[in-house]
Amino acid sequence: MLQMWTVFWILLTLAVFAEIWLTGTVARFLGFWNTVAFIVLKLVLGIRLAFQHGRLTLEKLRAAIQNRQVPGIPVIEGALFVLAPFLIMIPGFLVSALGALLLWDRVRSWMAEKLRKIGIAWFSRRFLR
C-alpha cells in the first residue's frame, strides 16, 4: 500500500500540472496580456481581502477569548477565512477557485467540520492509544 506522503506528492504533482495546463488554456483563450492582467487583478483583490478578513478573524478570536470560550470551529473557520485570499493571490486558476469557494460561508463551514473531524481522528490515533 502507498504511504500517505507518496500519495500527497503524487496529488501535488498532478495539481501543479493541471494548474499549468489550465493557465495555458486560459492564456490561449483570453490572450497573453489579458491573462497577465487577470492574474495581477487577482493579486490585488487577494491582498485587499487578506487585510479585511485577517482583521475580522482576529476580532472574532479576541471576542471568544474574552468570553472565555474555546474557539474550536470558529478558529478553523477563521483560519480558512484568512487562507482564502492567499489562495486567490497564487497565480493559477484552480487554487484561486478553491480560495473563492472558501469565501462562501457554507463551503467554509463544511470544510471546517471536515478538518475538525480529521484533526480529532489524527489526535486520537496519535496520542490516545
pLDDT in tens, 19-45: 899 989 988 999 999 988 988 898 898
**Among all chains, which residue has been given the C-alpha cell 486520537?**
124
State the pLDDT at residue 37.
92
Instruction: Answer whether 96's CB lies under 8 Å from 88's CB.
Output: yes
Instruction: Answer whether 102's CB lies under 8 Å from 111's CB.
Output: yes
Worst-scoring range by mean pLDDT, 37-46, 48-57, 77-86? 48-57
> What is the Cα 47 distance to its own chain's centre?
14
CA dist., res. 54 & res. 79, Å (int):
9
Comparison of pLDDT for 13 and 82, the residue scoring more: 13
Query: What percent of the chain has pLDDT above 70?
Result: 91
State the pLDDT at residue 1.
55
State the pLDDT at residue 29.
92
Comparison of pLDDT for 64 and 84, the residue scoring more: 84
CA dist., res. 61 & res. 70, Å (int):
10
**Mean confidence (pLDDT) of the chain:** 83
Q: What is the reported pTM?
A: 0.68
Give the confidence band of 54 by pLDDT, cuts at 50, 70, 90. confident
Among 55, 35, 48, smallest CA distance to 86 is for 48
Amino acid code (one letter) for 9: W
CB-neighbour burial class of residue 108 (10 A; exposed 0-12, middle 13-18, buried 19+): buried
